[in-house]
Chains A and B, each alone.
Chain A
Amino acid sequence: MNGWTGKILRINLSDRKISVIETRQLTDLILLMSLLL
C-alpha cells in the first residue's frame, strides 16, 4: 500500500532475534493490536 512499506520490525530482546512482519493488508492499527491479544 502506498504510504506504508508493509514492513514492521519485530525485535525479540530475549533471544536477540530480529524478524520482519510483512503485510500488504495493514490498513490501520487493528492488526497490530490483534497480534497482542
Chain B
Amino acid sequence: MTSPLTGTLAPAASGRTEVQTIGVQSYPVGWYTRSNFGGRFGAMLKFAGWDGIVIEGKADKPVWVDIRNEKVKICTAGQLWGMDTWTTQQMIWGEVMGKQIPVNWSNLSDDENPKRTTQKPAVLTIGPAGEKLSKVACLIHDAGNAAGQGGFGAIWGSKNLKAISVIGTGDIDVHDPNALIGARLWQKKNYAFNLQRLRSGGTMFQSPPSPGLIYGNPPGSATPQIDHRPQACVGCHSACRARYKDKLGNEASCFATVFYWDARTLDIQRMASDLINQYGLNAVEVIYGLLYLVLLNQYGVLRSGNIPECPLDFGDYGSYQFVEQFVKMVAYGDDGKGNNSEFGKDISGGFVRAADKWGRLEEDLTSGILMFPYWGLPIHKEPRAQVYWGYGTILGDRDINEHGLDWLKWDASIAKLYGGTPMAEAEEVVKIITDKMEPFQGNMSMLDFSDENIYSENMAMLVAWHRYYTRFWKQSALFCDWRWPDFFNQYAPGNIGSTGEAEPRFLNAVTGKGMTFLDGINLGKKIWNLDHAIWTLQGRHRDMVHFAPFIYNQPGTAIDVPNAFMPGRKNGKWDYYGYTNRNIDKQQFEQFKTLFYNLLEWDPTTGYPTRKALESLELKYVADELEKSGKLGVG
C-alpha cells in the first residue's frame, strides 16, 4: 500500500511501501503483521495509477505479475522460479523493456498516444528462501530494500507468486503544488543538513547523506574504503545507502551489514550481506540465529541431545564458504549443498521453532543464549534499557523497529563513551520532545527512564503515543522511520524540530484534507485498536504478553552501545544515566500492563478491547465481531 505522499516531493516520506498480512515468523502465533520497505516501488505503482495491491488466492503454478500502467498481466514464472532476487529483477527488466536496458526513452503504449519513460520497472520479489517457504524469508526490491520481518517471502512462496513488476508513466494529483514546494523549501532551509555547517545526525532528520553501515566487529568499527555514491529512496533529501565501485554491499544498511560480524575480512562481510539480500532472508533473524549456533557449538551441545546432525564445520567459521553454506541452509532448508538435512529444515523454520523442536527452548531462553525475547523474534534494541521499544514490541506483533527516540540513547551514550558532550542537556531535550507529544504533551515524566518510572502510567503514555504516532504518520502516511519524527534539530531555532507542524503540512498540501497532527495521532490510535482486535481474534490474551525469561532474570547486554545512557531523574535532577545494567521486574511489568490496558480502556483482566473503547473510535462493527467470538472485553 502506498501513501498519498508516495512519489511526491515530501522529504523522506515519498519512497516507502507498506505491506500487511497474517505473518508466519512470530511464535507461537503468526500475528497479523506489517512491514515496509524503501526504494521506488511505491512511487512507480502510483505513477502506474494504483494506490495499492491486494493479493488473494494461490496460483496453480509459479507466476509473476506484470503491471504497465493500467495493463496488468499474470505471467508464468518459468525460469524465474529458482533465481535469486537480483537475477530475477534483471530478467524481468529485460522482459519488460526488451533490449532497452540500459533505458533510454521507451514507449509503454501500443496505440498512437505515446507513454514514454526513461525508467526501468520497479520489481518486488522473493528469492529461493521464499520459494522454499522459509519462515524467515522476506521480500526484496532493487539491491537491498527489504520487507524484512513477518515472513512475507514465505507468504508469496505459498501463493506461487515470484514477483510483482510495475512501471508507470503517469503522475500524481497534488492538491496545492505551490504549498508542497513551499513546504519542501521551508523544511530544507530550516531543518535539513547544511553543507556549510554539518552536524552529526545518525537517523535524525538533519542527517547528511551517509550510508547507515555497521560493518565490523564490534559493529560499526569498519567502513569500506571504496569509492561510492549515495543512494536514496524516491524524494529523500538524505540518502542513507550507497552503491560501491566494486559492487559489493550495494544498498546494504543496518542489520544487513552487521550480519557475519566474525567474517575474516571486511569484503567477506560485505559479500555475506549481499547473500541475505539475494536469497531473500530477514537479516536480524539470521544474525542472532547464527550467534545461537555458534554459542551452542562453543558450549559443546550442538552435537548432542535431540539436535539433528549439523552440517556446518565451525573450524571454518569466518570464511565465505561457511556463511554461504549457512545462508543456503536457511534458505533451502537443506545442508546448504543440495542434500537433505533435518537440521537445515529446522533452522529454515526460524531459530525459536528449531530450539523448541530440539527441546532446548526453555533452557536457552532462560540462559539468554537464544536472544529472542518476544514472540519468537530476535532482540534489536536493548529492551531493559529502551523499555518503550520492548513494551511496544511485546504489546504488538513484531519488533517495532522504530528509531524515533533511539538517537536519544545514541547521542548521550557515545558522548559518555568518548568523553564528549551530548547535543543538549537531558532536561532540554525531554522538554522539546514531550511538548510535541499530543495528547500527552507537557508530561516530561514520559521520558524519565529511571528504575522507579519504567512501570508507571507515564511510561504507558509514552508507549501509547509511540504506537499511535507510528501507526499513522509512519506506517500509513509513510514518513520514513530513519528520518522522522524531527523532534530535536540542531539547525532549527531553539533546537526545536519540525515534527507536529511538518507532517500535516506535507499531507495537507498533497491531499487538501486539512488534517491536524493530533488528527493523525487519533487515527493511529484507531489503527492500533483495530490491530489489537485482530490479534485478539487470533487468540491474544494478556497472559500471553510476557518477555522471554532472560529479560526478567538477567541484566541487559551491550547490544549497540556498552551502556545505554538515557534521560532520567535522580533526586529530581535530570541527567543522562546508564540503564543497561538492569532487568525487567516481572511483577512490576504485570502492573504496567494493567496501567496500559486501563489507559486504552481495554479489559485489564484479559487485555481484550472493550465496546466503549472501540465505539469511541467508530469501530462498532469490530466490537460486534469480537462479541460474536466471545472476545469482547468487559468495561
Show the binding face of A for B, using Cβ within 8 Å.
1-16, 18, 21, 26-30, 32-37
Of A10, A14, A29, which contacts B20 at CB under 8 A? A29
Contact A28 B53 (CB under 8 A): no
Give 9 A-B contacts (CB < 8 Å), ordered by A residue.
A2-B173, A2-B510, A13-B56, A16-B59, A28-B527, A29-B18, A30-B526, A32-B20, A37-B622
Chain A proximity of B390: nearest CB distance (Å): 25
**Is B545's CB within 8 Å of the partner chain A?**
no
Please classify the interface of chain A as helix (H, G, I), strand (E, B), loop, or mixed, using the class held by over half of its residues: loop
Show the binding face of B for A, using Cβ within 8 Å.
1-5, 8, 18, 20, 32, 46, 49-60, 63, 65, 67, 72, 74, 159-161, 172-175, 472, 475-476, 507, 510-513, 523, 526-527, 530-531, 534, 537, 621-622, 625
Contact B4 A1 (CB under 8 A): yes
Contact A14 B57 (CB under 8 A): yes
Whether A9 contacts B72 in the complex (CB less than 8 A), given A1-B511, A3-B5, A28-B476, comes out as: yes
Whether A21 contacts B54 in the complex (CB less than 8 A), given A13-B74, A28-B523, A29-B1, comes out as: yes
Of B50, B527, B621, which contacts A5 at CB under 8 A? B50
Q: Which residues of B contact A30 (CB under 8 A)?
A: 523, 526-527, 530
Q: Which residues of A contact B527 (CB under 8 A)?
A: 28-30, 33
Of B52, B57, B523, which contacts A8 at CB under 8 A? B52
Contact B51 A8 (CB under 8 A): yes
Of A4, A35, A37, which contacts B51 at CB under 8 A? A4
Contact A13 B534 (CB under 8 A): no
Distance between Cα atoms of A27 and B512 in the complex (Å): 12
Q: Which residues of A contact B513 (CB under 8 A)?
A: 1, 27
Distance between Cα atoms of A21 and B53 in the complex (Å): 9
Question: Which residue, B20, B56, B60, B526, has most C-beta atoms of chain A within 10 A?
Answer: B56
Chain A proximity of B560: nearest CB distance (Å): 31
Of A14, A26, A37, which contacts B59 at CB under 8 A? A14
Query: Considering the complex of A and B, which 6 residue pairs feature the smallest CB-CB distances, nearest first?
Result: A3-B4, A14-B57, A2-B175, A13-B59, A3-B510, A13-B57
Contact B52 A11 (CB under 8 A): no
Contact A9 B57 (CB under 8 A): no
Q: Which residues of A contact B56 (CB under 8 A)?
A: 10-14
New A-B pairs, 12, CB < 8 Å, besides A9-B50, A21-B54, A29-B20: A2-B175, A3-B172, A5-B46, A7-B49, A7-B51, A11-B54, A12-B57, A13-B58, A13-B74, A32-B52, A33-B20, A36-B20
Q: Which residues of A contact B534 (CB under 8 A)?
A: 33, 37
Q: Which residues of A contact B476 (CB under 8 A)?
A: 28-29
Contact A3 B59 (CB under 8 A): no
Q: Which residues of B contact A27 (CB under 8 A)?
A: 513, 523
Q: Which residues of A contact B160 (CB under 8 A)?
A: 13
Of B58, B63, B74, B472, which contacts A28 at CB under 8 A? B472
Q: Which residues of A contact B2 (CB under 8 A)?
A: 4
Of B1, B63, B175, which contacts A32 at CB under 8 A? B1
Contact B53 A11 (CB under 8 A): yes
Residue of B at shortest CB range from A8?
Answer: B52
Q: Which residues of A contact B510 (CB under 8 A)?
A: 2-3
Contact B72 A15 (CB under 8 A): no
Distance between Cα atoms of A13 and B625 in the complex (Å): 28
Chain A proximity of B225: nearest CB distance (Å): 43
Q: Which residues of B contact A7 (CB under 8 A)?
A: 49-51
Of B8, B72, B175, B622, which contacts A11 at CB under 8 A? B72
Distance between Cα atoms of A3 and B477 in the complex (Å): 11
Distance between Cα atoms of A10 and B67 in the complex (Å): 12
Distance between Cα atoms of A32 and B159 in the complex (Å): 20
Whether A2 contacts B511 in the complex (CB less than 8 A), given A9-B72, A32-B1, comes out as: yes
